[in-house]
Amino acid sequence: MLKQKSSNQVGQLLLRISHLCNIPTWKRPWSYWDFDPPALQRYFQTRLNQMRGLRLCRPILRSAQRSSQRAITGTARSMSQREDSIPHELRTAAEPRQNHLYPVRLSQVDQVNPSIRLLRLALPDSNSLAYTHQDDKKQPFIFLPGQWLDVHIPSIAAAGGFTITSTPADAQLLSSLKSPDPLLGAETSAPASQGKPYVELAVQNSPSNPPAAWLWRPKDEILGKEINIRVGGSFVWPPTGVDIQKVKNVVFIAGGVGINPLISILTHLHQTQSSQPLGVHFLYTSRLPQGHESASLDTVLDQVLFLPRLRQIIRSQALSRRLHISLDLFLTNSISDLSVSSSPTDLKIHSRRINENDLDAAVVRGDGKLDPQETVAYICGPPQMTDEIVESLKRVLGVNGDKRVFFEKWW
C-alpha cells in the first residue's frame, strides 16, 4: 500500500511539472508504467536535468527535487491526503491512457433525475477518426467497455474524468452494424435514422468539480459546443489474466454512480455475447431520488440511474436466453413496504444494504454449485463499500480469488 501511494504521488508530481513546463502529453511515459519508485526517481532526475535550460521551469526545480524525494518515501502528511480532493488527472496518473485527443460535440442532454445528467458526445463522421499529437496519421476512436474519458473543456484548465456508459459499438457508424435491439429504446441506442457514432456519459451534479459544473450548465449554453476527450483506465471487459472461454458466471456489484462502467460492460455483453450461455448476477445499491414518497413505484424506479436500461436488457435476454440475468436492487433510503410488497417480476427490491449472504448467493451457478474458476466479479462503488465487498468476494472465491475480482472506486 505504501509503495502504491508513493508511486501515485510521483506520477502526480510529474504531471504537475509537465503542465508547468508545457511538456506534451505523449511525452509522459509514466502513465503507461507499472510504477517502480527507483525507476521513477531516475527518470525524474533525468527530466529535471533536461529542464534546467528552460527558464520557465527554473523556479520550480529546487522545490520539485525536494518534493520528488518526499513522494518516493511518503510522508504522514501526504498519506493523509483525501483522494476525493485530488484532481482526476493526478489521481489517475498511474492508469494507462491513450496518447491522443479526439474532438467531439455535445449533441444531447437528458435529465435522468435531479442529480444525474445523461450526455451524448457526437464523434466525427469521417469513420470516427482523429489526429494524434505525434504525427499526421489518423487513429480510430476505440475503447474497451468499462473505461473512462479525460474530458478537456477549453475554458477549464483541469480535465474532468467521467466513465463511458455506452458501448464500443455505439462509437461506430450504425450502418455497419446490425439493427439496434428495439427493446432498448431511444435511451440506450441511437435511432437508425441518425446512424451517427457517439459516446455517452452520466454526470452527477457536482458544483465543486469545474468540468462537471460546466456540463451542468443550462442546455442552451453547452449544446453544440466542442470539447476534447481521451480514453483511459484499466477496469475493463474482457477481464485480464482470465481465460474468458471458461467463464460461466459474472457478478456485477454497483454502488450509486458506480453503475456507470458496469452498464457499459453488460450492454456490450448483451450486444456481442456468443452462443455460449452466461449467468449474470447484478447487485445494485442506490438511493431513491428526492420526492419519491409521493410517486408511484414505476415512476420512482425509472429515476434510478440506468435501472430502466437494465430491465430492458433483462426482457430482451428472456427471449434470446444468451444471458441468464438476475437483478437485485438495494435501496438504502426506501420504505420497507414499497420494497417488499411491490417488487416487479424482473427484479428483487431490498430495503437494506448488500450483505455477505447476498454475495454468497451471487457467486454460485444456477445449479447451486460454486466453481471459482468459472466466476469473475466486477465491483464499482464508494471506496469503503468497494473495499469491504472486494475482501468478502476474495474469501468466497478461495485460492486465487484476488485474480478473479476486479474493482474500481468512484470519489
CATH of domain 102-232: 2.40.30.10
pTM higher than the cut 0.75? yes
Measured between alpha carbons, how far is 206 from 237 in angstroms, rounded to an integer? 28
Q: What kind of architecture, by CATH, is found in domain 244-409? A: 3-Layer(aba) Sandwich (3.40)
How much is the pLDDT for 45?
53
Beta carbons of 183 and 316 less than 8 angstroms apart? yes
Domain ranges of the chain: 2-91, 102-232, 244-409
With a cut of 50, list the residues of the chain below it in pLDDT.
Answer: 1-7, 19-40, 42-43, 50-65, 67-82, 127-128, 132-133, 175-180, 182-183, 185-193, 340
Q: What does DSSP say about strands 116-122 and 198-204: parallel, antiparallel, or unpaired?
A: antiparallel
Identify which of 125, 124, 119 has the alpha carbon closest to the alpha carbon of residue 106: 119
How much is the pLDDT for 16?
55
**What is the torsion angle, in degrees rounded to the nearest 10, for the CA atoms of residue 215, residue 220, residue 225 and residue 231?**
30
Side-chain half-sphere exposure of 387, counting CA atoms within 13 A: 2
How much is the pLDDT for 275?
67
How much is the pLDDT for 321?
83
Q: What's the chain's length in residues?
A: 411
Give pLDDT tens digits for 283-320. 999 998 776 666 678 888 999 999 999 999 999 998 88
How much is the pLDDT for 61?
44
Between helix 307-320 and helix 259-272 the angle, nearest 10°, is: 20
Measured between alpha carbons, how far is 125 from 250 in angstroms, rounded to an integer? 35
Beta carbons of 40 and 12 less than 8 angstroms apart? no
**What is the torsion angle, in degrees rounded to the nearest 10, for the CA atoms of residue 330, residue 334, residue 337 and residue 342?**
-60
Percent of residues, the chain, with pLDDT higher than 70 = 66
